[in-house]
Structure formats: C-alpha cells, structure tokens
Structure 1
Amino acid sequence: MSALVIVGHGTRSAAGVDQFTALVDRVRRRAAGSVGDVEGGFIELSRPPLTDAVAALAGRGHRSLVALPLVLTAAGHGKGDIPAAMAREQARHPGLTYRYGRPLGPHPLLLTALAERIDAALAGADRAGTWVALIGRGSTDPDANAEVAKVARLLWEGRGYAGVEPGFVSLAEPSVPAVLERLRRLGARRIVVAPYFLFAGVLPDRIVARSTEFAAAHPDLDVRVADLIGDCDALADLVLERHAEALRGDIRMNCDTCAYRVLMPGFADKVGRPQTPHDHPDDPVGGHHHHHHDHHHPQRHEPTLRPGQVAIVGGGPGPDDLITVRGRAMLHAADVVVADRLAPQGLLAGLRPGVLVVDAAKVPRGPSMGQDTINDTLIRHARAGKRVVRLKGGDPYVFGRGHEEVQACAAAGVETVLVPGVSSAVAAPALAGVPVTHRGVAHDVTVVSGHLPPEHPGSLVEWAALGRSRGTLVLLMAVDTIGRIAETLVAQGRAADTPVLMVQDAGHPGQRALPTTLDEVGELAAREGVRPPAVFVVGPVVALAPVAAVAAG
C-alpha cells in the first residue's frame, strides 16, 4: 500500500501547528485499512519538519509515497517550494519515488464546510440578507488569486447569499478593508467575513483585526467573522480523496466543481445529463425560462453524500421517475450502489461511468446469511472511503429491512443518510385508482406483511383485530398467503363480499388491477397466475376505483 505524506508550509502559530497535527491524526484514523501509512511535516517555520516525516516512512520500508500539499490553491508553495523540498528528500533517500497530489480547492466538501462556518456565524440570521467577503491569502501568482475568485463564485451559486465577494489579506487587492467598503457601498447591512484558510496563523489573525477595525469605524454595519475551515472530517475526507486520485493518476481539470459530474447545490437536475441546446432566458425566442420564485426561501440543508457514508434510499414503487429528488441526487453522487431486485432498474443505467453496482438479489441466501452479506458489503465499501448507496424498492423502512442496515452501519461506526421513498403500500392502490383513505369511507389504513400465514407461530399480526376493523387493509408480500389470510379475515368477522383489489406491477406499462371479493381472492390469484410484486387492498375504498382500469403512470 502506498504511504501518504501530508505537507504543510509551516506557521509561527502554535495553534495552527496543533490543528495540522490533529488533522494528520484524523486522516490516519479515517484511512484505517485504505492507506498503508500516514505522516505529516512542514517545509519551514514549524516542527515536525518534512524531512522527519519522510525519514519515518522510509524507515518503515516505504519506497513509493503520495506527497499531498496541504494548500487550498496552487501558488508558490504548492508549485515550487514543496516539490523542491521533495526533490531534496529523494536525494537523501535513493530509490524513493513519489506522486504529487493536487491542491485541495475548490471542492464541494470545502464549499460545504465554508457554508457551515458562515451559517454558524449567522446564528439563525437569514442568508438572503447576508453578504459574504471570502478572504484568501493573496499571492503574486494571478492564477492563485483567480482560484479564490472562483471559490467565491461557487460559494454564491445556489446557496442563497445576497452575494459573495473575494478579497485578500496580503499581496493582492482588494484588501480586507477595501472589500468591506465595496460591500458597504453595494448596500450591505450584514457581512460575514469568511477566511479561506485551513488553520490558525498570522494572516487569519490579521483578517480578524482588519474586520474588527472596519466594524468599529462603521457601527451601522453588522460585521461577523466566520471560523477557519479547521481540522474536521470533511477536510480529512478530501485529503483521502486527493490521495486516491494521485494513485489513479487521475489529476483532472476542474471536474470537482463540474455540475454535470458533481451534485452542486441548486443544480441537481444537471448531474449526469447530456448538455442539450437551449435558449437563453434573455433571448427574444425564450423557451427556457429559469424561475426564481424561491430565492426568498433558500435551502437550509443541502443533503450530500460524503465519502465513507452509506445512504439507504427508497427507490419508490417501481417506475424510475417515482424516486425522490433527494434519492436521485444520492445516486448521482454514489461510487458504489447495492441494489435490490425491486429497485427501479432503469436508474442503474443512468449512473456515472465507473460506479460499482452490486446486485443484492444475487447474494447467497442462507438462514439470514443474505442480509449479513449485504451489511458487510455496505460497511466494507464505506470504510474504503466510497460513497455508498443502498437502493431499495418502495420505502426502506416499510418491510424493507432498512433499519437493520442502519443498525449494522451504526455498530460498525459508519454514518448513514436516510432517504425515505414512496411506499408501494400507498402508491400501488393510488396508481390503480384506489385511495387508501377517503372521507366518509375509511378513516384508517393498516399495512400488513403477508409473508407469514396467520397460523404461523412467528406471526406478530393481531388477525382477530383486523377481522373486526372496518378500515382499509393493504397486504404486501402476500401472493402465496392471500387465500389463507382472506379465510382468516372472514372467520374473524370481515364480510365475505368485502371488495378486494389486486394490483400487480404497479406503475409499469404491464400494470394489472383485478377487482374481486374477500371470499374469492385466493382462487383468483391462483387462477390468474399473480406474481410478486403485487399488492392487495381490502375494504370499502376499493369500490371507489373507476370502472375502467386506470392506465399506469
């Protein structure tokens, strides 16, 4: 396994050194098993020096390293100083080779971290009335300064701030007071100064000092300074992503922030889509109008899927387009998808190239072995730093064993993102024209698993109560047991002529909806060769279905 040396440029700030050291430790913990060895060192000003970090790795037998510059933009340190320092290490250790990772920014993980720091400074105040001054280090390299301007633009896009303006604390204009004055003249009343810096140091302290001076001179302005990015999981995960990228030799252009590859806030409709010709909204022909109704209500929680997390996603009742917008966004972000037989198969064809798809239906089934294998698969890929999606049909938490996977991940220390889906229990009747509740007809609906027959000792269902009940019953996984269930319901008090609707392949072009009654449903299911997935609806609501079968979709 390749070793990773994280290279800092150094600082006179003891706090900054501590934060760097803490991040190296965090990367080491989060990389357990996926990176052979992790060390960190500085090229100047601070201990431990880079030379000690490389010597430690070489002493443990490593001959091939990834050297990752812990810099946000490629300027003098990243382009010249760190490669020169690594060249000196190669002279000290003959036979040592290294791959050089690229700078950390701009990247969605960093943009999200910046937005979190800004929101913390806002403490509940709204984004729409807030201007942000994003303050970079400043460089004599115009390319590095342009990167800060790019980050400012990306931070503004889709997040609902009044605006984001770039500024610099040294060597480049506008300075901190100059950018604050610019925002004041634009009419800003509340400004968050966001340092585009990883760790504490002389320059971040200077940002605070300049901002405080400006605020004191302009008491009508609300000026706040956000925290630095700092030692956090997002930064550690990004370091590991850059490490993996360097090993693959995949040092791309600006694809980190390409809305056609990566889910960026407010642009969920673009990921994975071909770029189609469209009219600009300002063109006289029109035809492609961007609606801005929602700018007064910016999205507060952009749910994203980070490396090392498992999203347990409900795919909906069958058709590809009945998944939620959030579920679709998770799929677009996924590196690994573990899919059920009942998950919408067409969605798998639209995944990014190179995504690993694991078919859970092919997992060997023994007594509970299948689920254990699936759990292990989710955990293994998450620990390897992948974004993992577990794609299920319907809603994962309605007879979908979704919570078993949540518990297994929790026990393994793997974070989960829970995305509910449209349940076939409600959707299949609706797609066949039957509401599960209706004013004056049914005020309750009970969703029952039919996988065990009523007389089975393992059944947890109170069939006698369901026989007495007047509400709607929806039976899932009951194709093999529907005859015995119907007999039991009649024996416990339901009328034999209670209407029943059987819906097979709901929402698909081949959807079948067969009306019958409780005393005849068992015979009908056998005679018609009903196959899963099928849903049975029992109760007076069935009589509300239109006479002609409703077309799917």
Structure 2
Amino acid sequence: MSAPALVALAPGGRDPQAVATVTALVAEVRALRPDLRVEVAFLERARPSFDTVVDRLARAGHDEVVVVPLLLTNEGSASGDVARAVLAAGERHPGLRISASEVLGVSPSFLGVLDERLRDALRVHRVRELDALVLAGEGSGDALANQTVARLARMWGARHHLPVTAAYATTAPPATGEAVRAFRGQGRRHIAVGSLFLAPGALTSRAAELALEAGAVAISEPLGAHPEVARGVLARYAVGAVELVPV
C-alpha cells in the first residue's frame, strides 16, 4: 500500500518571487522524502492550480491525498478557502480520500531559520551590534493567531537576551515601523527585524519599508526554502496521513 500523496498548498500570488520560493521549498520536501509523491499547488492566480494537481493525482491512480496548507497562522479566511477547495475536490473525485492537515504554522524550530536569515542581513549591512529585535508577521483578525507570533517573539528574545516586540503587516497593531520607533523612543539604536513570512510578497516588502523608514538597521529575508521548514511540512503531512488510516 503506497503512502498518500502530499500536496503543499499555497494561497497563491502575483509575485513571481513568492511562487519561486514556494516551489523551491517543495523541492526541499521532495529531497527529504524522495519516496513520496509531492506536489505544489496554489489556490489562486499562480500555477499549477489546486484543482489541476488533484485531477492529475486522481488520473495517476492515487486514492489518498494529504493537503498541507502553507500558512504560518491559522487565519480564518485563508483556512476557509483551503477547506472549501478540499471539499470541492472530494466531491469531484468520490473515490479519492482527501484531507487537509493543520496549517504549517510557526514552530520553535523555525527560530534557527530566523537566526540564519538575520545573520545574513546583518552581514550584508555590516551590523555588529544589536540592542532590540522586532519579529514581523502577517497579522490576523484572529487574536489567537497573533498570540502565536507574540509567543514566538518572546522565545526569540530570550534566546538572544534582547528585548523583542511582535509586529504585524495587517489588521493588528503595532506595524513594524511603530515597533521600531517605540524602541528608538527608549534610546535603542540598533534594532533588527526578523521576517516571519514564508515567502516574499507585497506584505513582506511593506513591512520592510516601514521598518527601514523608522530606523531599523537590518531586515531579514523570509523563511523561504529551508530544510527546517520542509521538515515542518512533513511533520504536518505525517499527522494528516495517520488520520486517513481507517479505525
């Protein structure tokens, strides 16, 4: 009996860099598990679409699929879009058992990726000293999702013995610029921003722009295609595959 296929499902977007980053991340997943059928799909705009990928897997004879949503927070509207897409795919292919795992989410293991990305940014800008950190995430209308980012921010600050603030690109305050200005108001001048985004995009660019305008000394690149993030995808897949097993 073959393992269920894995579909890494991203929201999609118009930014070619974002599509390339997600595609590279899925390549990392394949490298870790070459025995699995692993596909990348997008909910909108970018290709291949989710429907196209599911149809392809059904034609190839797969009867089980686990969808891993490539979302760092369980934001309501995006999660709803995933649920509706999975339900529609199941109705279109009655012989296909398809389920969605929990979203990728943010794991404490991602702190190492944040550190790596930030070290690269500090090296480029020749920054040798820091006295505060800002962790920039997407932000959500869901308070629990924002609390998840804030909790990771506290862990990150404790890891480096530095004060840290979580900031958000949408919906929830503070924005990255506000967070940087608040630290500068305390007399801190060496403030770096870690990008808790999966891939580049409009929100990532806006968060970086606001931070630089406020006086941040460096902003890291998004998490991107990293083996640790790929392991996070596989961890979600493993739980989803177990749930497909009949009791």
Scaled by the length of structure 1, the TM-score of the pair is: 0.42
Equivalence map 1:316-355=2 (5 Å):
none
Q: For 1:237 and 1:175, locate their aligned partners in 2 and report how far apart those are by CA, in whole Å.
A: 30
Equivalence map 1:348-363=2 (5 Å):
none
Q: Deviation string for 1:454-511 (max 9, x for gaps)?
A: xxxxxxxxxxxxxxxxxxxxxxxxxxxxxxxxxxxxxxxxxxxxxxxxxxxxxxxxxx
1:430 aligned residue: none
Q: For 1:163 and 1:120, locate their aligned partners in 2 and report how far apart those are by CA, in whole Å.
A: 21
1:133/1:164 contact within 8 Å kept: yes
Q: Which is bigger in relative contact order (C-alpha 8 A, separation at least 6)?
A: 2
Q: Deviation string for 1:41-73 (max 9, x for gaps)?
A: 111121111111111211111111111000111
Equivalence map 1:239-258=2 (5 Å):
239-249=233-243
Equivalence map 1:71-150=2 (5 Å):
71-123=71-123, 129-150=130-151
What are structure 2's unaligned runs of at least 5 residues? Answer: none
Q: For 2:151 and 2:100, locate their aligned partners in 1 and report how far apart those are by CA, in whole Å.
A: 23
* Structure 1 residue ranges, 4+ long, deviating more than 3 angstroms after superposition: 124-127
2:200 aligned residue: 200
1:9/1:77 contact within 8 Å kept: no
Indicate the structure (1 or 2) with the bigger Cα radius of gyration: 1
AA matched with 1:163: P
Shift of 1:107: 1.3
Aligned to 1:188, the other structure's residue is in SS state coil
1:212 aligned residue: 212
Q: CA RMSD in A?
A: 1.9
Equivalence map 1:270-285=2 (5 Å):
none
2:229 aligned residue: 235
1:72/1:105 contact within 8 Å kept: yes
2:218 aligned residue: 224
Q: Deviation string for 1:382-413 (max 9, x for gaps)?
A: xxxxxxxxxxxxxxxxxxxxxxxxxxxxxxxx
Equivalence map 1:416-495=2 (5 Å):
none
Q: For 2:31 and 2:77, locate their aligned partners in 1 and report how far apart those are by CA, in whole Å.
A: 27
2:184 aligned residue: 184
Q: For 1:95 and 1:145, locate their aligned partners in 2 and report how far apart those are by CA, in whole Å.
A: 38
Q: For 1:97 and 1:77, locate their aligned partners in 2 and report how far apart those are by CA, in whole Å.
A: 24
Aligned to 2:217, the other structure's residue is in SS state strand
Shift of 1:125: 5.2
Does residue 10 of structure 2 align to residue 8 of structure 1? yes
Shift of 1:156: 1.9
Q: Which has a greater percent of helix?
A: 2
Q: For 1:98 and 1:214, locate their aligned partners in 2 and report how far apart those are by CA, in whole Å.
A: 46
Aligned to 1:9, the other structure's residue is in SS state strand
Shift of 1:93: 1.0
Q: For 1:240 and 1:14, locate their aligned partners in 2 and report how far apart those are by CA, in whole Å.
A: 25
Q: For 1:77 and 1:228, locate their aligned partners in 2 and report how far apart those are by CA, in whole Å.
A: 22
**How has the CA–CA distance of structure 1 residues 60 and 130 changed in structure 2, closer, same or farther, with 3 Å as cutoff?**
farther
Q: Deviation string for 1:510-542 (max 9, x for gaps)?
A: xxxxxxxxxxxxxxxxxxxxxxxxxxxxxxxxx
Q: Deviation string for 1:202-230 (max 9, x for gaps)?
A: 11111122122222xxxxxx521111111
2:178/2:214 contact within 8 Å kept: no
AA matched with 2:204: P
Aligned to 2:12, the other structure's residue is in SS state coil
Aligned to 1:194, the other structure's residue is in SS state strand
2:29/2:230 contact within 8 Å kept: yes
2:68/2:236 contact within 8 Å kept: yes
Scaled by the length of structure 2, the TM-score of the pair is: 0.90
AA matched with 1:147: T
Equivalence map 1:26-105=2 (5 Å):
26-33=28-35, 35=36, 37-105=37-105
1:421 aligned residue: none
AA matched with 1:58: A
Q: For 1:106 and 1:21, locate their aligned partners in 2 and report how far apart those are by CA, in whole Å.
A: 19
Q: Deviation string for 1:6-64 (max 9, x for gaps)?
A: 1101111011111111222221222112x2x1111111121111111111211111111
2:175/2:207 contact within 8 Å kept: no
Q: Deviation string for 1:103-161 (max 9, x for gaps)?
A: 2233133111012112222338567x43111111111121211111111112223x224
Q: For 2:23 and 2:175, locate their aligned partners in 1 and report how far apart those are by CA, in whole Å.
A: 30
1:156 aligned residue: 157
AA matched with 1:223: V
Shift of 1:187: 2.6
Does residue 22 of structure 2 align to residue 20 of structure 1? yes
2:196/2:222 contact within 8 Å kept: yes
Aligned to 2:133, the other structure's residue is in SS state strand
1:262 aligned residue: none
Q: For 2:77 and 2:31, locate their aligned partners in 1 and report how far apart those are by CA, in whole Å.
A: 27
Q: For 1:138 and 1:108, locate their aligned partners in 2 and report how far apart those are by CA, in whole Å.
A: 18
AA matched with 2:140: S
Q: For 1:44 and 1:96, locate their aligned partners in 2 and report how far apart those are by CA, in whole Å.
A: 22
AA matched with 2:178: A
Shift of 1:233: 1.4
Same amino acid, percent of matched pairs: 33
Q: For 1:22 and 1:139, locate their aligned partners in 2 and report how far apart those are by CA, in whole Å.
A: 26
